[in-house]
């Protein structure tokens, strides 16, 4: 795996691999010279695509955008790593809103970083940071975005694709990949300035699905109605119940209850 054949702008296209994140991580470890910042591995199909916390990412062959992106994020402290998640999800929403301006308000971020259109899931993000001491050495970002698929397995609760959103619009996947990469790299670069952190956090909140709206949730104690108040720098979700009680949750400790 020492020799990598990629496009001049550092995108490696493959037909089928188990996981783009795993493949890119192996390239980083085995390449004779460092890969470029923004290097991409893209595949038409993943036989073992990974989602968050061990979940499987479904995608029909040749239909969707499946890629992993390498970021040299060594200027970001480990304690600030959730800002990487914010930057990536904000960058994706900005790109999609620009592509579909008439429907821009419907593109949202579902905490912590799923990409939604209305109440349906459009894209998932898997972020893997390599930590060295107090800083992040590099980040591998896996993105699965539904582009052309229109028939999904019944066990997926609420999927949607760009084809479903805009049936008359043909989206070029390679062009979209490049636009997403550019947007992500720009947002990550802005994190070199600590003063951007607050601005990014505000953008993230304003893009957040069901932000400040009473919504049904469930945790280990049962179902309840609450509103999203804030997301802490470490990624914890702050909810306020109808009775005014504040509750803090890490990922997977609480979930939305969809109708």
Residue 58 sits in which domain range?
A: 11-207
d(CA 256, CA 110): 10
181 and 67 assigned to the same domain: yes
203 and 223 assigned to the same domain: no
198: tokens are 């607050």
Check whether the bond before 57 is cis (ω within 30° of 0).
no
Residues 128-147: tens digit of each pLDDT: 999 999 999 999 999 999 99
- Residue 109: inside a domain: yes
Residues 22-36: tens digit of each pLDDT: 999 999 999 888 999
Q: Which of 166, 185, 207 is the last residue of a domain?
A: 207
Predicted confidence band of residue 7 (pLDDT cuts 50, 70, 90):
confident
40: tokens are 């991409």
- pLDDT value for 210: 95
Q: Which residues pair with 117 in a beta bridge?
A: 107, 120
- Residue 222: inside a domain: yes
What pTM was computed for the model? 0.93
Residue for token pair 């049936």: 167
Closest CA to 124 of 108, 140, 143, 109: 143
Give the total number of structural domains in the chain.
2
198 and 233 assigned to the same domain: no
- Residue 5: inside a domain: no
- pLDDT value for 132: 93
130 and 249 assigned to the same domain: no
Closest CA to 258 of 206, 209, 204, 205: 209
Average pLDDT, stretch 195-205? 97
Cα separations (Å) of 214 from 120, 157, 206, 211, 240?
Answer: 18, 21, 15, 8, 9
81 and 126 assigned to the same domain: yes
- pLDDT value for 1: 43
229 and 182 assigned to the same domain: no
176 and 70 assigned to the same domain: yes
- Residue 37: inside a domain: yes
- Residue 1: inside a domain: no
Cα separations (Å) of 248 from 203, 239, 245?
Answer: 21, 6, 10
- Residue 2: inside a domain: no
- pLDDT value for 49: 57
Whether pLDDT at 189 is above 80: yes
Predicted confidence band of residue 53 (pLDDT cuts 50, 70, 90):
very low
- Residue 54: inside a domain: yes
238 and 139 assigned to the same domain: no
CATH number for position 200: 3.30.930.10
125 and 175 assigned to the same domain: yes
Cα separations (Å) of 245 from 65, 205, 236, 241?
Answer: 41, 20, 16, 5
42 and 105 assigned to the same domain: yes
Average pLDDT, stretch 60-88? 95
192 and 251 assigned to the same domain: no
Q: DSSP 3-state assignment of 15?
A: strand
- Residue 231: inside a domain: yes
CATH number for position 224: 2.30.30
Closest CA to 258 of 217, 211, 227: 217
16 and 97 assigned to the same domain: yes
Q: Which of 54-68, 120-134, 205-219, 230-244 has the lowest mean pLDDT?
A: 54-68
């Amino acid at each position: 795996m020492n020799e990598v054949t990629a496009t001049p702008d550092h995108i490696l296209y493959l037909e089928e691999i188990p996981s783009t994140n795993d493949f890119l991580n192996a390239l980083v470890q085995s390449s004779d010279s460092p890969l470029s910042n923004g290097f991409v591995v893209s595949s038409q199909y993943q036989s073992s695509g990974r989602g968050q916390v061990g979940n499987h990412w479904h995608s029909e062959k040749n239909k969707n955008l499946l890629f992993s992106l390498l970021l040299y994020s060594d200027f970001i402290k480990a304690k600030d790593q959730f800002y990487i998640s914010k930057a990536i999800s904000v960058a994706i929403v900005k790109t999609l809103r620009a592509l579909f301006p008439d429907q821009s308000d419907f593109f949202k971020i579902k905490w912590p970083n799923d990409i939604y259109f209305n109440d349906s899931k459009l894209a998932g993000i898997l972020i893997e940071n390599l930590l060295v001491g107090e800083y992040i050495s590099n980040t591998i970002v896996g993105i699965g975005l539904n582009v052309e698929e229109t028939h999904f397995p019944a066990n997926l609760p609420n999927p949607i694709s760009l084809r479903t959103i805009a049936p008359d619009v043909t989206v070029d996947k390679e062009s979209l990949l490049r636009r997403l990469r550019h947007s992500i790299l720009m947002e990550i670069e802005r994190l070199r300035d600590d003063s951007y952190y607050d601005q990014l956090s505000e953008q993230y909140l304003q893009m957040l699905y069901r932000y400040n709206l009473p919504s049904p949730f469930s945790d280990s104690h049962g179902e309840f109605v609450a509103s999203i108040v804030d997301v802490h720098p470490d990624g914890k979700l702050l909810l306020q119940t109808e009775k005014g009680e504040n509750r803090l949750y890490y990922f997977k400790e609480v979930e939305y209850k969809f109708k």
